[in-house]
Copies of this chain bind each other. A is one copy, B any other.
Amino acid sequence: MGEQERLAKDHALRARAARVIPGGGMYGHQSVASLPAGFPQYFERADGCRIWDADGNEYIDYMSAYGPNLLGYGNAAVEQAAAAQRARGDCMTGPGPVMVELAETFVELVDHADWMLLAKNGTDATTICVTIARAATGKRTVLKARGAYHGAAPWCTPAREGVLSEDRAHLHSFHYNDVESLEQTVDAHADDLAAILVTPFKHDVFRDQELVDPAFARRVRELCDRTGAALILDDVRAGLRMAYGCSWEPLGVRPDLSAWSKAIANGYALSAVAGGEALREAGARIFTTGSFWFSAVAMAAAVACIGEARRSHVVERTQALGERLRAGLRSQASAHGVGLRQTGPAQMPMILFDDDPDQSRVNRWTAETVRRGAYLHPYHNMFINGGHTEADIDRTLQITEEAFAAAAARR
């Protein structure tokens, strides 16, 4: 089947969207504008680890909705809890009792947490962390790693259009995993340091991921202790995928605040800020809210998601599946003489090609896998979810083998 025919409905939808949605029909991280031809824009259905595009083409999905799908699309435990709450009430004139249950669950789950706040976007959570840190310290400067994504409000969006220099005032950068760069940046701002904001590992788009150097993480903690700045862990993308708790718990490094979203309610819109006792009072002093922040269904989904994540050992299972995929790809790439770089945690794989300055090789290869039913991404880290099985990984490896051969033939 030709590409035009395979995605005929998708292209018809895009033509309609181009009239009523800016950016030629889509915006934000789910726009396929920067993806190779052959990636569908619209999806009709999702179940477990599978998605179906508007034309009915089926894919084994490695994006997991860019993170929210932790346990598999439509996970029964989560959907049952959500449905039971929905039958009672969702967005009401006050929160449901489930808000207390979720906060207690979270405080029990997360080592450093003595309290939590709930919001909707990951950006809400990182913004609230920064605001609390500034309220608590009376200082202004926030340090972050160069190139790290912490959301899409004016103070943090990667773009500069419509953003003022004031929006980013007192925001300075260090190099991730570079202790010397961190120390220099801290020294340059030590008298005005409100927070160091850091992701649990380096997961920037278009680049190899880097696990955190434990010495770097410990140094971040020491510098915060020395200066009185808050250590903010941005666990929006990785939270619940690396550990049952903060992603730095296995290292023994405790943040003062952590930001959560994406996977915590298995796709229901929710984000969270968790904090320690020392910042409880500042957490109460700031004012932030949203029309849907007290909605009960997403909270019931989160309680169920956290319980099911632990019960089903999703961290260990997705890690093992990621390692199975990684090992298979390594051997295929080697057989095809292709230099493949697979980085980051196995359950959040990033796959890039050597000698690929314009991404044409990874674009060609992922376009071939997508055409064959494995949705792999050429520049964003991926996410194994609890709906994946060994059989799905093995089927994916058949597809990637064909894609290596096809991409080689097309060169």
Contact = CB atoms under 8 A, between A and B. Distances in A.
Interface string A97-115: 1011001101100000011
Given A104-B16, A166-B167, A93 B51 contact: yes
B282 A162 contact: yes
Nearest to A377: B93
Interface stretch (A64-72, A206-214, A303-311): A64-72
A23 B284 contact: yes
Contact of A43 (B95, B114, B161, B290): B95
B157 A291 contact: no
Nearest to A280: B22
A64 B28 CA distance: 31
Nearest to A128: B162
A190 B171 CA distance: 30
Contact of A95 (B42, B114, B275, B287): B42
A62 B121 CA distance: 28
Nearest to A25: B100
A286 B115 CA distance: 35
Task: Give this chain's copy count.
Answer: 2
Interface of A: 9, 13, 16-17, 19-24, 26-30, 32, 40-47, 51, 53-54, 61, 63-69, 73-74, 88-97, 99-100, 103-104, 106-107, 114-117, 120-124, 127, 130-136, 140, 152-155, 157-159, 161-164, 166-167, 169-170, 236, 261-262, 267-269, 275, 280-295, 298, 375
A43 B96 contact: yes
A20 B115 contact: yes
Contacts of A9: 97
Main secondary structure of the interface of A (DSSP, over half): loop
Contacts of A90: 46, 267-268
Q: Which of A23, A53, A295 has the most CB of B within 10 A?
A: A23
Contacts of A61: 93
B100 A20 contact: yes
Contact of A96 (B23, B42, B106): B42
Given A20-B104, A61-B93, A135-B162, 16 more contacts: A9-B97, A13-B100, A16-B104, A20-B106, A30-B93, A41-B94, A41-B95, A43-B89, A43-B93, A43-B96, A46-B88, A68-B292, A90-B267, A121-B290, A153-B153, A164-B169
